[in-house]
Amino acid sequence: MKITNFEELELYVKQRDFKARCAVAGATDEHVLQAVMHAAEQGVVSPILIGEREQIAEKLRAIGADNIEHRIIHENGGEEACAQWAVDLINDGKADYIMKGLINTASLMRVVFRKENKLRTGRIATSVSIRQIPTYHKLLAFTDAGICISPSLDDKKMIIQNGLALLHQLGVDVPKVAVLAAVDTVNEKMPETVDAAELKRLAESGEFGRCIVEGPISFDLAFSKEAAATKHYDSPVAGDADLMIFPNVASGNMTTKAIDLTSGSTGAGLIVGARVPLVFSSRSATAKYKYQSILLASAVCGQ
> pLDDT tens string for the chain (303 positions)?
678 999 999 999 999 989 999 999 999 999 999 999 999 999 999 999 999 999 999 999 999 999 999 999 999 999 999 999 999 999 999 999 999 999 998 999 999 999 999 999 989 999 999 999 999 999 999 999 999 999 999 999 999 999 999 999 999 999 999 999 999 999 999 999 999 999 999 999 999 999 999 999 999 999 999 999 999 999 999 999 999 999 999 999 999 999 999 999 999 999 999 999 999 987 778 889 999 999 999 999 977
Q: Nearest 5°: CA angle at 32, between 29 and 35?
A: 150
Instruction: Map out the domains of the chain as residue ranges.
Output: 6-120+274-300, 126-266
Nearest to 281, CA basis, from 80, 156, 108: 108
Query: Where are the alpha helices (H) located in the chain, listed in sequence order?
Result: 6-15, 30-41, 53-62, 79-91, 105-112, 153-169, 191-204, 219-223, 225-230, 249-262, 287-300
Question: What CATH number is given for 126-266 in this structure?
Answer: 3.40.718.10
Burial label, 126 (beta-carbon count in 10 A; 0-12, 13-18, 19+): buried
| Spatial separation of the C-alpha atoms in residues 164 and 129, rounded to whole Å | 12
| Spatial separation of the C-alpha atoms in residues 16 and 19, rounded to whole Å | 7
The alpha carbon of residue 128 and the mean position of all alpha carbons in its chain are separated, in whole angstroms, by 4
CATH ID of 6-120+274-300, from 3.40.1280.10, 3.30.930.10, 3.40.50.970, 3.40.50.10950: 3.40.50.10950
Predicted structure pTM score = 0.94
Can you name the residues that pair with 100 across neighbouring β-strands? 25
Task: State which amino acid sits at residue 19.
Answer: K
Q: Do domains 6-120+274-300 and 126-266 have the same CATH topology?
A: no
Q: Nearest 5°: CA angle at 63, between 62 and 67?
A: 95
